[in-house]
A and B are shown apart, each in its own frame.
Chain A
Amino acid sequence: MAGSGTAHLRSGDALLRADHLVVEFASRKHRVQAVSDVSFDVLRGETLGLVGESGCGKSTTGRAVALVQPLVSGSVLLDGENMAEVSQKDLRRARTRVQMVFQDPISSLNPRRRVLDSVMEPLAVWHSGTKPERRRKAIEGLESVGIDPEQTARRRPTELSGGQCQRVSIARALMLEPELLICDEPVSALDVSVQAQILNLLHDLKDERGLTMLFIAHDLAVVKNVSDRIAVMYLGKLCEVAPPEALYLHPAHPYTAALLAAVPDPDPETQVPSVPLVGDLPSPTDPPSGCRFRTRCPLAAERCAEEEPQMREVAPGHFVACHFALEPLQPAGTGVSRSQAP
């Protein structure tokens, strides 16, 4: 699994290029490497889905890209510009190019402020335009996310539903016209019916504004719906990078296959698959040697403990970091067969 390498990076001009990101958290006793040598790129207008379980480091990766999480090493290149070299003075301005939408829609808005004020805030911070102009722009922003400003602009977040709050958060994130929008589990706290509304809204906004997105979630069905390319993450490393259809039809990494099998199918005729994935994520303070997925992997062999797998291409645009990548003809969720790495 979870291996390193940069084979999956594309040569063209990517809007975002994350190179060998390493993020550590240190306490008195432990050092936790939450993100450990992760590289990826996102082309302009593309949506990259980043999927993995809780604790795999996907949110930390998002925060690192948003320049709110200091890196131990590695670099974030936005449109070719290395963000690590931006001076402290210019960093605030640089951050406006990347905006975030968070998981819990209600707590990500200030409960004591009115909706309109929260949406106007980013403009006010940058003294953009006069106050009436800012107000007009915020009202337009609310309208563009399907919120009726007349009815809602004067309300406070507690008076709104979770779905409405998430729309407001999206409007706020778009106020400064960012080049990259990072959505960190934007729908996992919402009901399925509301989730569909928000996912459709993100589609529309992407079409209208040509947004580039990094979409972080744990549910592969949700990620597949919005993404042009999907990266699967496990315990601080990437396991597999592929286009959505290829990932679903021919998952090459055993972890991806397990994630696919875990998505509940709304059809009583399908057999509920027995989950091949047992146990919890190992502690990131003491990650397994070699391949980090080996402790839960049905294919693990001796080699996996000794040697860390590197990203390699198994099909055009389909990259995997596994010594025993599944034969790329296995339909989702079925048994596992072995094909020795070349």
Chain B
Amino acid sequence: MRFLHRRPHLEFQEASELEGPLLEVEDLHTSFASPRGPVRAVDGVSFSVDRGRTLGIVGESGSGKTVLVRSVMGLLPPNVAERSGHVRLSGHEISSLSASEMRDVWGNQIALVFQDPMTALNPVVRIGRQITESLRLRAGLDRKAARETAIALLESVGLPSPARRLRAYPHELSGGMRQRVMIAIALACGPRLLLADEPTTGLDVTLQAQILDLLGSLQRERSMAMILVTHDLAVVAGRTDEVAVMYAGRIVEHASTRVLFSRTRMPYTEALLRSIPRLSQPSHSRLRAIPGRPPDLSVRSPGCAFAPRCPYVQERCRRESPPLRTAGPGHKFACWYPVGSSEGDEALASNLEARVPAALTFAGRPELRAGVVSASKSGAG
């Protein structure tokens, strides 16, 4: 209860009074200590999110997207070897704040919906207390008001008979209901920015659609900004304003959602898009899988991190790491031989001629499975 009367460290202005983006992340680096040297999970990431807008962050497992979210939140485990860069919320630098100072930010300003609601909720505490906790501590509501607000929150996330559910334990709820409870907790103190880290992974497609619809409508009602983190480009397609694609700790392409899908530049984005099974494809059509797997982040190689798996790869890609270039308004990408350019077309054609396995897979030629193995060998570093 001692936080109740604690003076806030930070004064945040009303959103409407502010100019500039709500969240600015600049050159963020986070690495972890490991026996094989530092693992660079986030390696120089910059982006910004405006008020009321939705940014999708997409990448495979191990691309650093979860660490990025946790770095923004200031929720990192103690074995962080290095953390640098800036995170500004409404103009305030929050990356240097201590945990006790961050309490003014968590919940009130930024809230997080975790990936796995079963492990994120406390299994031995009733749902009601888990929601009212922050209402009483942060918003300073009394017991009765907190309870009423909690019921209203559960109602707004579409939980049936909310008053009765307050007395339930997490294990008594289904996976979809638990994720709704997680969202209710995140929304309790009216955050301006909601971070949703794989909020629908592990849920059925029907529940996934329900939860994404719910997040979208809550966001519009509350004019919140949202960052939707996922491994599936199909999830962000219809539900975000902008998308950033991450690979090996870096943003490799960033554009408005329409542009990203219609004028894809980065071969990795293209490969991710092509690997999704679509209902419109005839059955038994061969999927364009990306050979190999993401690189080991503890090994720093000089060139582009995607080079070992890339169908467009050239000598230069293995030597020099491509910088983030601008392709149009708000569209940035990191590639020497971008998709849809004459250099890119030539690179792909020469790779097909040289029978580079990644290019053959890409072109849908019957690849040798041994080719996949050798690509994964080099991919693993």
A165–B345 Cα distance when bound, in Å, is: 35
Q: A192-B232, A258-B206, A264-B232 are in contact. Are A221 and B278 (CB under 8 A)?
A: yes
Whether the pair A264, B373 counts as a contact (CB closer than 8 A) is: no
A90 beta carbon closer than 8 Å to chain B: no
Q: Given that A192-B275, A196-B277, A272-B238 are known contacts, is A277 also in contact with B206, CB under 8 Å in the complex? A: yes
**Chain A 315-340 interface 0/1 with B at a Cβ cutoff of 8 Å (1 = within):** 00000000000000000100000000
Who on chain B is nearest to A204 by CB?
Answer: B369
Query: B94 contacts the other chain (Cβ, under 8 Å)?
Result: no
Is A342's beta carbon under 8 Å from chain B? no
Closest chain-B Cβ to A239's Cβ sits at a distance in Å of 14
Q: What's the Cα separation between A228 and B370 when bound, in Å?
A: 28
Contacts of A268 in B (CB 8 A): 237-238, 257-258, 261-262
B144 at the interface (CB under 8 A from A): no
Q: Is the CB of B204 within 8 A of A200?
A: no
Contact, CB under 8 Å: B282 / A146: no
Contact indicator B290/A146 (Cβ below 8 Å)? no
Q: Which of B261, B281, B285, B293 contacts A161 (CB 8 A)?
A: B293
Q: What separation, in Å, do the CA atoms of A243 and B151 have in the docked complex?
A: 46
| Chain B residues with CB below 8 A from A196, complex form | 275-277, 287-290
In the complex, the answer to whether A228 meets B283 with C-beta atoms within 8 Å is yes
Once A196-B275, A272-B239 are accepted as A-B contacts, the answer to whether A264 and B234 lie under 8 Å apart by CB is yes
Residues on the A chain within 8 Å of B61, using CB: 161-162, 191
Q: B284 on the interface (CB 8 Å rule)?
A: yes
Collect the chain A residues with CB atoms within 8 Å of residue B175's CB: 54
A148 with B208: CB separation less than 8 A: no
Provide the A212-229 mask, 1 if CB < 8 A to any CB of B, else 0: 000000111110111110
- CB of B210 within 8 Å of the partner chain: yes
Q: Is B289's CB under 8 angstroms from A265's CB?
A: no
A146 CA to B293 CA, complexed, in Å: 13
Chain A residues near B271 (CB, 8 Å)? 193
Considering the complex, which residues of chain B in the window 363-381 have a beta carbon less than 8 Å from any beta carbon of chain A? 369-370, 372-373, 376-377
Q: B289 to chain A: which residues have CB within 8 Å? A: 193-194, 196-197, 199-200
- The residue in chain A whose Cβ has the minimal distance to the Cβ of B58 is A192
CB of A138 closer than 8 Å to a CB of B: no
Q: Is the CB of B204 within 8 A of A192?
A: no
| Residue A275 lies at the interface, judged by CB distance under 8 Å to chain B | yes
Q: B-facing mask of A143-184, CB < 8 A → 1, else 0?
A: 011111001000000000111000000000000000000000
Instruction: Specify which chain B residues have a CB less than 8 angstroms from the CB of A228 in the assembled complex.
Output: 283
The answer to whether A262 touches B287, judged by C-beta atoms less than 8 angstroms apart, is: no
Q: Are B258 and A269 in contact (CB under 8 A)?
A: yes
Residues of B within 8 A of A55 (CB): 174
**B124 in the interface (beta carbon within 8 A):** no
**Number of A residues with CB within 8 Å of any CB on chain B:** 62
Chain A residues contacting B272 (CB-CB under 8 Å) are 192-193
Residue A139 interfacial (CB < 8 Å): no
Residues of A within 8 A of B160 (CB): 279
CB within 8 Å of B: which of A11-30? Answer: none
Q: Is A194 a contact of B293 with CB atoms below 8 Å?
A: yes
Which residues on the A side are within 8 Å of B258 (C-beta)? Answer: 268-269
- Across the interface, name the chain B residue whose C-beta is closest to A244: B283
Evaluate contact between A195 and B275: CB separation under 8 angstroms: yes
Q: How far does the alpha carbon of A272 sit from the alpha carbon of B209 in the complex, in Å?
A: 9
A203 to B287, CA, bound (A): 10
Q: Is the CB of A262 within 8 A of B205?
A: yes
Q: Which residue of B is nearest A228, CB measured?
A: B283
The CA-CA distance from A272 to B205 in the complex, in Å, is 13
A259 to B171, CA, bound (A): 26
A260-294: CB near B (< 8 Å → 1, else 0) gives: 11111111111110110111110000000000000
B151 to chain A, nearest CB (A): 19
**Cβ of B177 under 8 Å from chain A:** yes
> Please, which residues of chain A bring their CB within 8 A of the CB of B50?
none
A133 contacts the other chain (CB 8 A): no
Tell me whether A263 and B279 are in contact (CB under 8 A).
yes
Q: Are B290 and A193 in contact (CB under 8 A)?
A: yes
The 8 Å CB contact of B176, one of A144, A189, A265, A280, is A280
Does B233 have its Cβ within 8 Å of any Cβ on chain A? yes
A270, B205: Cβ atoms under 8 Å?
no
- Residues of chain B within 8 A (CB-CB) of A271 are 238
Contact flags (1/0) for A85-101 with B, using CB distance below 8 Å? 00000000000000000
Task: Considering the complex, give the chain A residue whose CB is closest to the CB of B366.
Answer: A204
Distance of A225 Cα from B284 Cα, bound (Å): 5
**Contact check: which of B212, B275, B279, B373 meets A248 at CB < 8 Å?**
B279
Residue B73 lies at the interface, judged by CB distance under 8 Å to chain A: no
List the B residue with the shortest CB-CB distance to A188. B202
Chain B positions within 8 Å of A222 at CB level: 277
Q: Chain B residues with Cβ under 8 A from A244's Cβ? A: 283
- Complex-state Cα separation, A258 to B208, whole angstroms: 13
State whether B208 touches A264 (Cβ < 8 A).
yes
Bound form: Cα–Cα A118–B277 in Å: 31
B206→A270 contact, CB < 8 A: no
Q: Mark contacts of B206-226 with chain A using CB atoms, 8 A cut-off: 1 yes-contact digit, 0 otherwise.
A: 111110110000000000000
Task: Say yes or no: is A79 at the interface (Cβ < 8 Å to chain B).
Answer: no
Given that A193-B271, A227-B283 are known contacts, is A266 also in contact with B233, CB under 8 Å in the complex? yes
What distance in Å separates the Cβ of A188 from its nearest Cβ neighbour in chain B?
8
Tell me whether A220 and B293 are in contact in the complex, defined as CB-CB below 8 angstroms, given that A191-B61, A268-B261 are known contacts.
no
Contact with A along B77-114 (1 / 0, CB 8 A): 00000000000000000000000000000000000000
> Which chain B residue lies CB-closest to A243?
B283
Nearest CB in chain B to that of A275: its residue: B209
Given contacts A219-B205, A225-B283, A268-B257, contact A274 B238 (CB under 8 A): no
Q: List A residues 53-110 near B (Cβ within 8 Å).
A: 53-55
Enumerate B165-196 residues with CB–CB distance to A below 8 Å. 174-177
Question: Please, could you name 23 A-B residue pairs with CB atoms under 8 Å apart, sorted by A?
Answer: A53-B206, A54-B204, A145-B369, A146-B372, A148-B377, A162-B61, A192-B272, A193-B272, A196-B289, A200-B286, A200-B289, A225-B287, A258-B206, A259-B205, A263-B234, A265-B237, A268-B257, A269-B258, A272-B238, A274-B213, A275-B210, A277-B206, A280-B174
Binding site for A on B (CB under 8 A): 60-61, 160, 174-177, 202, 204-210, 212-213, 231-235, 237-239, 257-258, 261-262, 271-273, 275-279, 281-291, 293, 369-370, 372-373, 376-377
